[in-house]
Structure 1
């Protein structure tokens, strides 16, 4: 999201014309700018006033968004007020999940490949899982 003042002159004119043509969109843009100000300046305690303004304002406002904020109000206010972030933790978690997805299905336990050319033609020994028989018909016949 770019601040309207940082837009190129052509796009700033287009935005001005668009907001002038649709008052509902202008009201929504104003509410988004207000919330962005609360977020960037860490003014969490003013969240209640903003949500009340949204509820009493335009019917096309972000009412579902405000409802979601109210569902976990203490955490939202803390997130908008405190300088702490769990970004580094989430970044580490993302890396672990990425590695897990990349390696899924590649972890096979095979015997090492023979390096001596004389052993290349010999069959591999049976796997421990293949050589054990947990069901023996001879035991059941007795």
Structure 2
């Protein structure tokens, strides 16, 4: 259900679209959450960080409680979130390497020396 909400409507099959419509009609809170989630997904897809404050205002007014919690987390680091939704740069490559190093470290914990860990980290792509 969550993937149906966050994907563009034109990518859903006929049956998925009908089921989503039934759920939306059954619960007004889900309808509002769907609308806000789709608007946020649009901000992310099209890098419209300049519209984030407006989206937050709308969500604070009438979003269901779980979504208001998400909005609270956005407020905690608003500048970084806005930059992430606006700028083309990403720390994904760095995060990939950090994850790789942590995985190697966990796998080798208590089994070998620091020198072998260092060698594995430096020689693996």
TM-score range, shorter chain: 0.7 to 0.9
Cα offset for 1:28? Answer: 0.5
Q: Which runs of 4+ in 1 moved over 2 A?
A: 1-5, 58-61
Equivalence for 1:14: 19
Q: CA RMSD in A?
A: 1.4
Equivalence for 1:36: 41
Conserved? CA contact 2:74–2:81, under 8 Å: yes
1:80 to 85, 88, 95: 85
- Write the distance in 2 (CA, Å) between the matches of 1:85 and 1:15: 33
Report how many aligned residue pairs link the two structures: 108
In the TM superposition, what are the counterparts of 1:30-109 in structure 2 within 5 Å? 30-60=35-65, 62-107=67-112
Conserved? CA contact 2:32–2:64, under 8 Å: no
Equivalence for 2:116: none
SS of 1:62's equivalent?
Answer: helix
- Write the distance in 2 (CA, Å) between the matches of 1:3 and 1:88: 27
Cα offset for 1:59? Answer: 4.4
- Write the distance in 2 (CA, Å) between the matches of 1:39 and 1:67: 18
Distance 1:9 1:45, change over 3 A: same
Q: CA offsets per residue over residues 99-135 of structure 1, 9 Å max, x none?
A: 1111111116xxxxxxxxxxxxxxxxxxxxxxxxxxx
In the TM superposition, what are the counterparts of 1:103-142 in structure 2 within 5 Å? 103-107=108-112
**What runs of 5+ residues in structure 1 fail to find an aligned partner?**
109-142
**What runs of 5+ residues in structure 2 fail to find an aligned partner?**
114-125
Give the TM-score normalised by structure 2. Answer: 0.80
1:4 aligns with 2:12: no
- Write the distance in 2 (CA, Å) between the matches of 1:105 and 1:23: 54
Cα offset for 1:3? Answer: 2.7
- Of Structure 1 and Structure 2, the greater helix share is in 2
